[in-house]
Structure 1
Amino acid sequence: MGSSRNFGQLRTGNGRIADGTLGIQTFVAATYESATIMKNTSVDADLMGALHKRRGRLQRRDLRRWMMPMLVGVCVSVGAFAQTAATQKKARSASPAAEITRFFLEEPKKDSGYETGPLHIVFNDGAEVVKTLPPLRASTEKEVVFNAVGFSGVQLAADRQTLGWTINVENCCTSYSIPLSLAVFRHKRVLHTFDQGQMIWSWIFVQGGEHVAIVFGPTHGPEVGDYRLYNLTTGKLISEVWGDEETQALKSNAPEWAKLLQDHLHNR
């Protein structure tokens, strides 16, 4: 942007090469000189007027001849610079292939009412995303509020681009909060949120982060879980099995992803 440009050269009568601006001045001066000579040789007034008009037209025409390439060059340079700057800005802000290098939870502020502080997600491109919980609300006579009070069960998938966590919510029937929903985060945004209405007992990523397996169940009672497998591209449920009520475990013919989740549930 700072370099100078040569938009044209003009050879003058004495053989010198002048730049575009000086060339215009030389050409106009030569035209005026010719008109002066003709005036001195008794050229009539009409012809002199025509020459003066021609001089003006030539001056304007040559100004356009030299100025247009210069203006086009400047516009192209500015446009190219703006486009490059916009592309660089987009690349810096959007890097979808960035990997997650670490994540951590802040401690909750004293007497805040939260069980955890914000969740920090750090990427290898230098970006950091901070997830926070909604402000706490008080229950009223007309409305009972169950606030989200903490993050739990944070896991990173094998692709290092997909992160998941459960949200702990106040519960009416227990003295402690329970995880009721699972958020899946990819490419610096929440991709999907999964819930079924019951407590999330456990969850895992499957196939490196292509799928997620979640087991839901009641807070108390027999361990007859609802095992679900979701596609993380579409967010759709693709498989579901239930535990056996008599054995309180999966049947022997349960799919492999469900068995892996059951092992994770029991820390096996």
Structure 2
Amino acid sequence: MGTTNHFTRFAVVIGLVVCLCPSHVTAQVRAVTSARIGKDGLIHILRSDGTEFVAPREVSPIQLSDKMDMQVSVREPVIAKDGRTVGWLAEFPNCCTSYPIPLVLVLYRDGTILRRIVPKTGLPLWRWAFLEDGNEVEYYADTVHSNLNPTCELRDVMSGELLDEWHRGKSKTLPGWAEPFAKDVGDLEGPSN
């Protein structure tokens, strides 16, 4: 009976240590209090515990010259309704425009970069939004000029899995989730020949 009592006390002590010690948690949930573009041109995320995460510069997903492969700017970050997930567009130089173009949607959650999303087409992402409280993202990608290849994609944030997509020629109607991009897409059938 003494051994059982000793074992029970030991189990209770271990249980208390695990419950009271936050280091046993591998990925702590950290609420985001703000996200902004800093004077350094990088994304700064302030967390509820007072710590700050500064996102590193991104490398272009498209092979460019050595001088053009690094992020030159970012677009304003958006905090998802879950209060843990933040997203922003990373912009890169483009040979044929006087302005940088957004090629990567960067997603942050709980203290780390969770995912970098590039459209299947490799085209710039012009607009995007969180859905399902930050569990999904939708975005509109297209050519730099002329609206030649409008594409809308819906992805799962955790896995990056492509859940649905629309591109000109696939359907004469946009899926419900892609309706916010109707003006961007324009004519669903494309230019007439």
Q: Whose helix fraction is larger, Structure 1's or Structure 2's?
A: 1
Aligned residues: 168
Any idea what SS the aligned residue of 1:260 has?
Answer: helix
Hey, what's the Cα distance between the residues in 2 that align with 1:225 and 1:85?
A: 51
CA shift, 1:145, in A, is: 3.6
1:209 maps to which of 134, 145, 151: 134
2:53 maps to which of 121, 125, 129: 129
CA shift, 1:220, in A, is: 0.9
Change (3 A) 1:231 1:93: closer
1:102 maps to which of 9, 34, 56: 34
Structure 1: which 5+ residue stretches go unaligned? Answer: 1-71, 109-115, 136-141, 245-249
Amino acid at match of 1:105: I
1:182 maps to which of 92, 100, 105: 105
Counterparts of 1:74-153 in structure 2, within 5 Å, are 84=17, 88-90=21-23, 94-96=27-29, 98-108=30-40, 116=41, 118-133=42-57, 145-153=68-76
- Tell me the residue number matched to 1:236: 161
Change (3 A) 1:100 1:265: farther
Hey, what's the Cα distance between the residues in 2 that align with 1:229 and 1:130?
A: 27
Which TM-score applies when normalising by structure 2?
Answer: 0.73
- Structure 1 moving runs of 4+ over 3 Å: 83-87, 91-94, 142-145, 261-266
Change (3 A) 1:263 1:162: farther
Any idea what SS the aligned residue of 1:148 has?
Answer: coil
Hey, what's the Cα distance between the residues in 1 that align with 2:107 and 2:184?
A: 18
Maintained 8 Å contact 2:126/2:141: yes
Q: Deviations over 1:72-104 (max 9, x none)?
A: 9xxx8xxx69x83996251698431x2111112
CA shift, 1:189, in A, is: 1.2
Q: Deviations over 1:175-216 (max 9, x none)?
A: 211110101111111111111311111100112112100111
Structure 2: which 5+ residue stretches go unaligned? Answer: 1-5, 60-64, 187-193
Maintained 8 Å contact 1:202/1:265: no
- Tell me the residue number matched to 1:58: none
- Tell me the residue number matched to 1:194: 117
Tell which deviates more after alignment, 150-159 or 228-237.
150-159
Change (3 A) 1:89 1:265: farther
Q: Whose strand fraction is larger, Structure 1's or Structure 2's?
A: 2
- Tell me the residue number matched to 1:161: 84
Change (3 A) 1:188 1:264: farther
Maintained 8 Å contact 1:201/1:265: no
Please identify the structure whose Cα radius of gyration is greater: 1
By relative contact order (CA 8 Å, sep 6+), the higher-ranking structure is 2
Note if 1:255 corresponds to 2:175: yes
The share of aligned pairs that are identical, in percent, is: 25
Aligned-residue Cα RMSD (Å) equals: 3.3
